[in-house]
Structures are given as C-alpha cells and as structure tokens.
Structure 1
Amino acid sequence: MAQAQTHGLSDVLDQLEETAHGESIAVQEVVEKLGRHAFASLMLVFSLISLSPASGIPGVTTVVAAIVFILAVQMVAGRQCLWLPRFITRRQLSTAKLCKGVGWLRRPVQAVEKLSRPRLRILLHRPWIYLPLVLILGLTLLMPVMEVVPTSGSIASGVIALFAAGLLTRDGVFVLISLALLLAVPVAVWHFGFSG
C-alpha cells in the first residue's frame, strides 16, 4: 500500500489541529500538512470530519465522499503520490468548526488506539485489500444521497474511518469490522429514509 508505516491516530488529529489558523483553511493546506504520500492519514482525517459535528455543514459529506473516492481509486491503482483536483483543494473549512470537531473526536480516537495492535496484517496487502477498497468506492458514490437521510452519512463515515484506522495501526481486525459495518449502511438508509 502507499502508506505502510504505523502512525498514532492521535498524531493525525494533532497534525490536523496544527493546520488551523485564521477563520478558515483550504483542503490543500491539510493535504500538505499530512503529506502527499499519507493516503490512509488523509482518508482518516476527512472521514472523521464527516463524522464530527462539522458534518452539519451542508455539502461537507459530499466533499468528503469525493475526496475519499479519489484516494481509494489511487490506492487501488498503486499510486505513491496523492493527486486531488483543484476544485477540491481550494475548498475552505471553518477553523472554529474544525477545531471543535477535533476536540470532539479525541476521546473515541484514543479509545480506538487502546484497542488496536498489529494483527491480521495479511488483510492490509494485495489482493485482500482490494475488497474493502472497492466496497468503499461504492459507498462514497452513495454518500451524497445520504446527506438527506439522518445518521446514514455518519455510519458511512465511521466505516471509512475504521478502515483507515486499520491501515494506520496495521490492524486487520479494524478492516474486518469496517466491512461488517458496511452492512449497516443500507439498513440505516432504509430505516431512517423510508420508515415512519
């Protein structure tokens, strides 16, 4: 994979928080801070943004879905250096809401760190890694629609965040959990979108 080394999940949040300055920051600044080789870190950061209270901003889930889609495509293709189109890198994120989201995410991220350890690493290599990547590609195509269905977008973002956490901590168990949670996404869409 493009990023094989282990990184603490809290370190990724620290790096994200360090980008915060002024009233807003561009997606490009986040990418440059985390590095153009850090596919898994970037996938984690943007899925967590969509999972945090910042997801209440209209369009955030769609932008995150587009970024994750592009990341996953490049990971499948085996690219070593990230590319994102300018219409995405120029998008601005509210610094205040970003910092609030980072603070909100600290506790769950620390809980995940305590549970994670290198295991089932075969799932993080080809050809096994292609299955979750392809499923995540499909999931990102549905995420823009999920903006109008309460909770479903958060579940989708959680699935992606767990997958990225598994890559970063070299923990194949988290990859398996993310695949299991993928099954909850259509159930959530059906329940919250069509029930009642």
Structure 2
Amino acid sequence: MMQANEAVASQSEQALEQLVEAIDQLGRRQQRVSLGDMQQEIGERSFGPFLFLPAIVELSPAGGIPGVPTLLGIIVSIFAVQMLLGRRSFWMPAFLSRRTLDGDKLHAALRKVKPVVRYMDRVVRPRWQWLTRKPFIQLVALSSIAAAASVPPLEVLPFASSLPFSAIALLGLGVITRDGVLTVAGMVAAVSALVLVAWVLLG
C-alpha cells in the first residue's frame, strides 16, 4: 500500500513538472503563445492547470504590469465557473483563446518559478483526496471565483493581488496533485483575500 501511494505521488509530481515544462517549451518555440495554444497543449479536461498557470504568471514579474492581474482574474473566473457547473471539459471564448503572450517573457517567467515548482514536487502528495472530488470540488471553484473577484480592488495596492493569486495557485495545485490539504490552504487564503478587500474598501 505504501509503495502504491508513493507511486501515485510520484506521478502527480511528475505531472506538475511536466505541465510547467510543456508550457515553457511553447515559449521557447514560438514568438507569441496564445491561450488557445496552452489549452491545446494541456487538454480540455484539465481545470487545475488553468487555475494554477494564471496564478503563477501573476506571481511572476509579469504580474506587476497594470491590468494583467485583472485579466488573469477574469480567465480564472471563466474556468472556475465551468468547474462550479460541473462541466467535464472547459470552453474558452474566442477573444481569450486568441490572446497572446510574448514567448520570451513567458519563458523568463516560468524559468523563475521552476525552483518553486521543484520544491512543491517534494512536498505535495495525494492527501484528503475526497476534497478534490465532487461535491467538494464546487467549494474549490467558489473559492477560486471569490479570490479572482477580489483582484480588481486590490490592484490599487502594490503586490496586494499576490494574496488572492496565491490562493488560486494553491487551489489549482491541490486539484492537479489531488492534495486536499492544499485546497484547504487555498480556501483559507481566499477568505483572507476577501477580508483584505473589505479592509481596503471600508478602511
């Protein structure tokens, strides 16, 4: 049993590293990388990566560009709503699928986060997997939507949008690796982001 669990954990970790590497290779091969290209590379049934990847991009230096956090929040919301509705595969509107990123900048951003991903590979493993399945996956979706909704008000504060995107990264990573502990951490971080928004708006 222990060997089986270790094998599953190894597969999850490999999947995470392969995910980042696959998108990184797109950035190295193409001058411009569209969201449609990423969708084709990842597959239409992978909700977790489309929570995790926008969050990682926002947490990189690219997230400091005005307007980028809000755009990424919209992308997260589109996928999270489809998760909430229980869709088996996700749909991306044409205006989003045609949006492109500079390949060199995408490669540079992912190169910076690769050490973080390698660290995650050592600590994440399938735990409390029931939290990453229905009906609890709907809580993950709701938490992602709440975190994404908190992004626009927080753009007025330098780096404040990193909190909701940290929540989204944890939620996406939890779904990818079937780690319910990470999804709980992501939900707590999403609630913290909403509290921060309330403080910004009411303070």
Q: What TM-score does the superposition give when structure 2 sets the normalisation length?
A: 0.85
Count of aligned pairs: 191
- 1:150 corresponds to 2:197: no
Native 8 Å contact 1:118 1:170 kept in 2: yes
Partner deviation per Cα, 1:43-83 (whole Å, 9 max, x = no partner): 21111111111112232212211111111111111212221
Corresponding residue for residue 10 of structure 1 = 17
Per the alignment, in what secondary structure is the counterpart of residue 25 of structure 1? strand
SS of 1:19's partner is helix
Over 3 Å counting, the alpha-carbon distance change for 1:56 and 1:23 in structure 2 is farther
- The TM-score normalised by the length of structure 1 is 0.88
Q: 1:51 to 1:194 in 2, by over 3 A?
A: farther
Aligned to 1:77: 85
- What is the deviation of 1:190? 6.4
| 1:104 counterpart residue number | 112
User: Given residue 9 of structure 1, which amino acid in structure 2 is its aligned partner?
Assistant: L
1:1-196 residue pairs with structure 2 within 5 A? 6=12, 8-20=15-27, 21-189=29-197
Check whether the contact 2:24–2:107 (CA below 8 A) recurs between aligned residues. Answer: yes
**For the residues of structure 2 that align with 1:187 and 1:150, how far apart are their CA atoms?**
17
Q: Which secondary structure state, in structure 2, belongs to the residue aligned with residue 117 of structure 1?
A: coil
Deviation at 1:29, TM superposition (A): 1.0
* Separation of aligned partners in 2, 1:57 and 1:24: 18
Where 1:183 maps in the other structure, the secondary structure is helix
Greater Cα shift, 167-176 or 142-151 = 142-151
Q: Which amino acid aligns with 2:189?
A: L
Question: Is residue 149–residue 193 contact of structure 1 (8 Å, CA) maintained in 2?
Answer: no
Residue segments in structure 1 that go unaligned for 5+ positions in a row: none
- Given that 1:12 and 1:45 are in contact with CA atoms closer than 8 Å, whether structure 2 keeps it comes out as no
What secondary structure, in the 3-state scheme, does the structure 2 residue paired with 1:62 have?
helix
* One-letter amino acid of the structure 2 residue matched with residue 19 of structure 1: L
Q: Deviations over 1:79-103 (max 9, x none)?
A: 1222111111111212222111101
Given the superposition, is the C-alpha separation of residues 29 and 12 from structure 1 closer, same or farther in structure 2, using an over 3 Å criterion?
same
Unpaired runs of 5+ residues, structure 2, are 1-10
Partners of 1:124 and 1:167 within 8 A in 2? yes
Deviation at 1:148, TM superposition (A): 2.0
Matched residues, percent identical?
29
Runs of 4 or more off by more than 4 Å in structure 1?
A: 187-195
Structure 1 residues 187, 138: closer, same or farther in 2, change over 3 A? Answer: closer
